[in-house]
Structure 1
C-alpha cells in the first residue's frame, strides 16, 4: 500500500535521464524526475502524478486518453476517439509537452494528437503540472506528460494479450536483461471498430493502429553505458465531416463514410553515459529524433521533424554518488531544430543552456532551483526559471510549493503563413506563463491513505491570437493583457479494508481570456471516484470508476457562434480480472456502463456502452 500511496503524488524517472537510473523500478521507493536527474518523491516540491502498470491493468484503461481523464488538473476533450487534446490547468493543448520514453512525441512545431495511443506495454504514465520549460524547453509551459514503456526485469520475460469486443487488440512483449544490460521488444495491434462520432447512428468511425518499440542498453564498463530506443507507429482512422450550414449540435457533425486520415510516427534516441570520481561526476550525451507524417483522404503526407542534441553534466556537492547526492548541480547544453515540409523554406533552431540545483537537508526541507536561457534564431531569446520546495513533518504531513515561468514558441503558420487569407507575423514573441502553486499532503486513517490538496495560479502573457487585417484577411499578434487560470486539485486514495482500495480526484478551474470571457473546453468541475476490490479468493479484482464533468463551455459553430455551457454528464466504467493460472489472466471491461449521452465538444458524441473480454499471458 505504501508504494501505491506514493505513486499518486510522484513522477518516476524519465527514460531520458541518466542511464544508470533506468534499471527496473523499486516500487517501494518511487523516484521521480521532475528535473535533469531523478528526485525522490518525498523530496519533490512540484505537483505531479503517476499511473502505474498495476493501476492501468486493474482499472481496464486501454488508451492513454482514458488514463489521463482520471488525473486531477487535466482537461481531456475528444472530438471522437481519434482526436483528443489535453489541457493542463486550463492552458492550451499546445502548452503541454507530451513525451514517449522521454522523447518529444510531436515532430516540428505540431501539437501531439492523442488518438488510438494504447496502454499496451506501457509501464507508467506521468504528469508534471506547472511550467517545466527550464527542463524541457518550449511547449512545456503548462506541464509535461511522459509515457514510459515497458523494459522488462532481470532474466527473460515474454508474454502477450488479446482482447475482443468493440474491436480487437493484440500485444506481444519479450525482453532479456542481464547484469550489464538488456534488450526489449514490444508489439501492439489495435483495431477499434469505433462508433459514429456524429451520434446519428450512422457508420462507425474506426481506428487501426500498429506500434513497435525496440530498446536496449549495455554497460561497457562499470563507468560507461550506452543505450537506444526506437519506436514506429502507423495509424489509419475514420472521421466525420462538419457541415457548412448547421443550425444546431445535431446538424454540425455529419456522418461521412468516405473521410479518413493516416498518421505515421517515428521516434528514436541514442545515449552514452560516463561516470567519474566514483560516481560523483556524470556525463551524458544524447541525440533524440522525432518525425510525424500526416495525410488526409489519400492526399500527400505532410512531414514534420525535430532533432535534439544534448549534453548533461551532473556533479555531487555532498560527496556521494550523483544518484544519491543530497546536494547536486546539473548543467545541460542543448541544440534543437525542427522543420516541416509544409514550409520548406523555414525552420526553427534553438540553442539552450540550463542549470539546476537540488538540496536535501536533515530537517526534512528540500529545495529545487533551475534557470534556462533559450537562444532562438527565429524570434526573441527567452529566459525561464523555477523554484520548488518540500517540507516533511514527523507526523507524515508534507508541505510542497513551486513557482516559475514557461514559454511557448510561435508556430510556423503564425510566423510565415501565406494561405487561407492569413499572412504570418515574423515579429511575434514567445508566449510566457507565470505560475505558482502551494499544497499539502496529509495521511488519513493512519497509514492507510493519503490526500493531496493543491492550489494553483497561472498568468499567460503575450498570448498569440489571430486578428482581422481587412475583408477576409487575417494575421497574428501577441495579445495585450493576461489570460488567468486558477484552481484547486484534490487527489488521493485509501485502503478502506484489506481487500478494498478507494481513490478520488477533484478539480476546480477558473480559466479566463484577457477580456474576461471563459476559456473553452476546460470544465470548471471534474470529479472522479473509483474503487478496486480484491475478489475471487485473491485471484482477481473488480474495479469501477465514475467521472462527472460540469461547467464545460464550447463555441457553437452555427447561429451567432456563441460560447455556451455544455450539458453536464456522469459516466461509469467497470473492469474485472481473474487469474486462470499463475501466468494467464482473464479480463473483461465495459465502457460507459449506463450508456450515457456525453459530449466534450459540441456536435461530437462520446462512445456508447461497449463491452470487451480478453486474455493476458506473462512468463
Structure 2
C-alpha cells in the first residue's frame, strides 16, 4: 500500500493541491460540519466542498459526477438511474444523503442518486468518517449535503437550456431583501439514454422534473422563520436480469416493457431565536421526507420519515454564539420512519446530542460530541466523535485528526421479514463503525497550492447478515468478526499560472470482509487529475478532467456466480464556456471523450462518448 501511495505522491505533486479542509478560505462555512455551521479552517474532520463555480467551470451535469472527483468517495452504477455512493469503503446504506439538510431517503432505504441534476445547486458538502453524533443512523461512513441555491439581495432571474445526448432546461427566480426572501428553482431533464445491456439494443431513457421553493424572513431582529419544499418526479426505463446467463454480455437483457418511477417530496420549516444578547440561540425545526417508488413496473412502495428537532447553542465564554470561542450545542430529536407497504414496518427514536467546540490561543481547534439514541424497536445506541485542527508554525501547514463511532440501524426486512423464507430478528443491534483519521495539509510552491495527505482506518462490527435456520428458511444475526477498511486520501489544488488552475484527488482503499475476502464495488485505486484554463481575455473557460479507476471487484450473477475483478478504465471529460455578453454564456461539453467502456458493475454498460451544447442567461 505505501509503495502505491508514494508513487502517486511523487508523480502528482507538481499538479497539486490541498485537502478537503484547507482548500477553502478560512471564513468559508461548512454547514454540515456539526450540530451548527462551522468555519472550515477550524474543522478537524475530513470534508470536501464542490461549489456552483466548480460545477459550471467543469460542465458537471449530475450530482454523481460531481462526487466522482472527490477523495474517499466511490460512485458505482447499475445504469445511470441506479447509482450508489460509498464513502471510505462503507456500504451504500452507511452514507446519509441530505438535500438542504433534510434526509433525501424516507423510511429505512438508502437514497439512490438517479440522474440528480446539478442545476440550481449552490454547493455540495461531503464529510468523511462517522457523523452519527450529529445526524444519527445512516451517517456511519459519512454525510453528503446537497445545498440548493437561494439567491442574493435583489431580484435574480436566470435560466439555461442544453441539448445533445440529453436535453435539460432550468429556471431560477428569487427576490431577497436584508430581512429575507423567496426562491423558486425549476429543472427538467429528458434523456433518451443508451443501451444499459451493452448489446446495441433499445435505449433506456429517463425524464425527471424538479421544483424547489424556499423562503426565510427575519420577523424581528431576534426571530428568523423559514421553510423549504422540494418535489421531484422521475420516469425511467430498465432492463431485465437473466440469472441463467453464462457471461456478462447475456446477464442483462433488453425489455422495453419494464419501467420504474420515483416521486420524491422533502420539506421543512424552522424558527431561530436569539436570546441573552445572542449568547443563547434556539432552533426548532420539523422535517419530512415522503417518497414513492415503483421498480420494474411493480407495485409502488411509499416510505416516510418525520423528524422534530430542537437545538440550543450557548457561548460559554459570555460572547455571542457567532463570536464565541467556546460553544456548547445541545440537540433533542424525535424521529419516525415507516413504509406504507406494510404498517408493521416502522421505527422511532428519541435522541439527545451534545457538542463542544473550543478555539484556543495556540491555534488549536477542538470539536467533541456525544449522542444517545433511545430506540423503540431494538437496542439503544451511543455514539461519539472528536476532531482536532492545529496549525504548525507560520508556514501555513496544518495537522488535523478525528475519531468516532457511527451506527446503522437494522432495516425493516431484517427486523420484521415474513416473506421468501425469511423471518426477521427484532433482537438485532445497530451496526457500528469505529474510525480514526490523521493528516497534514502543506502549502506548496510558495503558497500557490496545497497538498493534503490523510490516512484513515475504519472497522465495522456487529454487521448484520443472513443465516440459514433450516431447509430453505433464513433469519438475520449480528455477525462476529470485523470488516476492515483503511487507506490514503490525497487532495490538492495549484494555481500553476495566472490563468491555469490544476486539481487532483487520489484514493487508495483496502476494504475486506471478516473472512479476508475483498469487499465488492470498492475500487482499490481512484485518481482524478484536471485543470481549468481562463481564455479569451477572461471571457471563456476550458476545463478537462481525467479519471482512472482500478482494482474494483463485483459479484457475477451469471455463470459460476463468482466475485471477479472488473477491468480498469480511464475516462476523459472536457468542457468549455464563453461569455457572448455580460448576461449570456455559451457552453459545451463532451463526456467520456475517448469512448472508454467504463464498467462499475458486471453486466451493465455505461454511456460512451456524448456531446452537449447549451446557453445560460441571467436577467
TM-score by length of 2: 0.96
Number of the residue aligned with 2:13: none
Measure how far apart 1:9 and its partner are: 2.6
Number of the residue aligned with 1:237: 236
Number of the residue aligned with 1:112: 111
Q: Is the 8 A contact 2:263 2:291 kept in 1?
A: yes
Number of the residue aligned with 1:615: 615
Measure how far apart 1:469 and its partner are: 2.0
Number of the residue aligned with 1:325: 324
- Which residue among 21, 27, 32 is the counterpart of 1:9? 21
Number of the residue aligned with 1:532: 532
Unaligned stretches of 5+ in structure 2?
1-15
| SS of residue matched to 2:467 | strand
Q: Is the 8 A contact 1:575 1:588 kept in 2?
A: yes
Measure how far apart 1:452 and its partner are: 1.1
Q: Is the 8 A contact 1:409 1:430 kept in 2?
A: yes
Number of the residue aligned with 2:168: 169
Number of the residue aligned with 1:29: 27
Q: Is the 8 A contact 1:7 1:50 kept in 2?
A: no
* In the alignment, structure 1 residue 545 sits paired with structure 2 residue 557: no
Distance in 2 (CA, whole Å) between partners of 1:296 and 1:522 is 25
CA separation of 1:375/1:340 partners in 2, compared to 1, >3 Å: closer, same or farther? Answer: same
Q: Is the 8 A contact 2:488 2:509 kept in 1?
A: yes
> Could you tell which deviates more after superposition, 178-187 or 556-565?
556-565
CA offsets per residue over residues 527-560 of structure 1, 9 Å max, x none?
A: 0000101012210100000110000001111222
Over the aligned positions, Cα root-mean-square deviation in angstroms equals: 1.4
| SS of residue matched to 2:65 | helix
Distance in 1 (CA, whole Å) between partners of 2:19 and 2:515 is 39
Distance in 2 (CA, whole Å) between partners of 1:31 and 1:58 is 22
Measure how far apart 1:447 and its partner are: 1.9
Unaligned stretches of 5+ in structure 1?
13-26
Distance in 1 (CA, whole Å) between partners of 2:20 and 2:434 is 25
Measure how far apart 1:207 and its partner are: 1.1
The within-5 A match list for 1:36-435 is 36-393=35-392, 394-435=394-435
Distance in 1 (CA, whole Å) between partners of 2:248 and 2:196 is 12
Q: Is the 8 A contact 2:18 2:491 kept in 1?
A: no
**4+ long deviations beyond 4 Å:** 4-8
| SS of residue matched to 2:440 | strand
Measure how far apart 1:298 and its partner are: 4.3
Distance in 2 (CA, whole Å) between partners of 1:287 and 1:322 is 23
Distance in 1 (CA, whole Å) between partners of 2:17 and 2:321 is 26
Distance in 2 (CA, whole Å) between partners of 1:100 and 1:457 is 28
Q: Is the 8 A contact 1:7 1:51 kept in 2?
A: no
Q: Is the 8 A contact 1:356 1:368 kept in 2?
A: yes
Distance in 2 (CA, whole Å) between partners of 1:7 and 1:286 is 33
> Could you tell which deviates more after superposition, 552-561 or 157-166?
552-561
| SS of residue matched to 1:85 | strand
Number of the residue aligned with 1:582: 582
Measure how far apart 1:446 and its partner are: 1.3
Q: Is the 8 A contact 2:206 2:235 kept in 1?
A: yes
Measure how far apart 1:426 and its partner are: 1.1
CA offsets per residue over residues 246-305 of structure 1, 9 Å max, x none?
A: 101111111221111000000000000110111110011000000110113444321000
Number of aligned positions between the proteins: 602
Distance in 2 (CA, whole Å) between partners of 1:5 and 1:615 is 32
CA offsets per residue over residues 36-66 of structure 1, 9 Å max, x none?
A: 1121111110000000001000101000110
